[in-house]
Amino acid sequence: MTHVAVVGAGVAGLGVAYALRDEASVTLFEKSGRVGGRAATRERTDCVYDTGANYVKSDDDRVSRVIRELSNGLVDVEKPVWTFDADENISEGRDENAAKWTYRSGIGTLGEKLLDASGATIRTDTRVVGIRKDDGWYVEDGDGNEYGSCDELVLTPPAPLTASLLEFAEWDDDETARELRRHVGHVPYRTILSVALHYPFEIDRSYYALVNTDKEHEIGWLARESCKPGHIPDGESLLIVQMAPNWSAEHYDREDSEIVAAAADRVADLLSDHSLSAPNWFDVVRWRDALPDSGADPGVLRRAEDENLRFAGDWVSGDGRVHRALGNGLDVGERISKLRT
Ligand SMILES: Cc1cc2nc3c(=O)[nH]c(=O)nc-3n(C[C@H](O)[C@H](O)[C@H](O)COP(=O)(O)OP(=O)(O)OC[C@H]3O[C@@H](n4cnc5c(N)ncnc54)[C@H](O)[C@@H]3O)c2cc1C
């Protein structure tokens, strides 16, 4: 049986494993303690909230089919997304009719379901720090353990992290390695601070979320988690506030309390409700490499395929969206399957 090592268990890595279920022996190496990557959920008291991707909206039939196969607990966020501008004028519109999916237990459930359905082996809390090619591919973790040999290696961390893995790669073809490193290291990313603000009262509005369309506001996105079935108990509210990329980069290293105070003040102004400047609890998630601004050149990445080295992720598909990352992972898995089985 073909042995495939996948670095990173976000939806792209899990998509590779899902496409190869029953056809290859797949091991996923994940630096954190959970799967799903930026499709991430946290829980506190009785609240469930999505701290990275807020929902999946798929225009790719194959991805929609996979999600429907994993539909137990899937919910649609029915209320629309409205817009606002730098002057805090709120307007209807922008929302198309497509479903906005998450799970009752949060979008992180998508990763767990993909893993279960794939039957792959997962090593969580395992940060890969080196890759080496000999009779096959080997990966090394931070404690000096080496795993291998694998017939195929797929790298799925965000491009800057993949570039640093390539930096320490050991394999014969130095020129390809250098070119890949240079190219992958140049994919630009936006940084986002995601802030959860909890209130012991309901906030009733006609929309689920607001998006800043002129990119001139310090808030980029504001969403009411209570619009997601099963997420927030009655009588409470939780707002997810994604600060704009420039603001997020500038305030990235500030204390949580400072970030929250600024975010809550902006929210109170935007929604014209000054009780919102004092949440009764909060949470801050820092996404340094939140969203790729463009994709890598597929032609350059393809040069590594002769070495049985492949790449998957939103930065490979060129669009920072869950369904694009998952679709790209499925593509890579299907390509390996075609070549190897
Ligand atoms: C704040 C925010 C809001 C978003 N909103 C939406 C949205 O509403 N809708 C939408 O469709 N998309 C949204 N996105 C984008 C979406 O989350 C991503 O495009 C998608 O989840 C990317 O999946 P991926 O598998 O390519 O990468 P990731 O999810 O980043 O997965 C990569 C994995 O690799 C692991 N890893 C990294 N380095 C190593 C290493 N050295 N060793 C082992 N493991 C490693 C990471 O821990 C991670 O689990 C949002 C993203 C953010 C951050």
Cα three-residue angle 196-197-202, rounded to 5 degrees: 125
How many Å lie between the centroid of ligand 1 and the Cα of residue 56?
13
Helix axis angle for 322-340 and 61-69, nearest 10°, is 90
State the amino acid at position 187 in one-letter form.
Answer: V
How many Å lie between the centroid of ligand 1 and the Cα of residue 239?
21
How many Å lie between the centroid of ligand 1 and the Cα of residue 275?
33
Q: Which atom of ligand 1 is nearest to the CA of 312?
A: 26
Q: What tokens does 201 get?
A: 């009262």
Q: Which atom of ligand 1 is nearest to the CA of 285?
A: 1
How many Å lie between the centroid of ligand 1 and the Cα of residue 268?
29
Domain ranges of the chain: 2-42+110-188+295-340, 75-105+189-292
Instruction: Give 170's DSSP letter.
Output: B
Tell me, using a 6 A CB cutoff, whether residue 154 lines ligand 1: no
Q: Can you give the pLDDT at residue 254?
A: 98
Q: Which atom of ligand 1 is nearest to the CA of 289?
A: 53
Percent of the chain exceeding pLDDT 90 equals 92
**Residue 85: pLDDT above 90?**
yes
Tell me, using a 6 A CB cutoff, whether residue 332 lines ligand 1: no
Average pLDDT, the chain: 95
Q: Which atom of ligand 1 is nearest to the CA of 314?
A: 26
Q: What is the pLDDT of residues 105-143, one digit of tens each?
A: 999 999 999 999 999 999 999 999 999 999 999 999 999
The verdict on domain 75-105+189-292 having CATH code 3.40.50.1820 is no
Residue 164 CB neighbours (<10 A):
14
How many Å lie between the centroid of ligand 1 and the Cα of residue 49?
16
Q: From the options 3.50.30.20, 3.40.50.2300, 3.30.1370.10, 3.50.50.60, give the CATH code of 2-42+110-188+295-340.
A: 3.50.50.60
Tell me, using a 6 A CB cutoff, whether residue 190 lines ligand 1: no
Phi, psi torsion values for 270, nearest 5 degrees: -60, -40
Confidence of residue 176 (pLDDT cuts 50, 70, 90): confident
How many Å lie between the centroid of ligand 1 and the Cα of residue 38?
3
Q: Can you give the pLDDT at residue 174?
A: 76
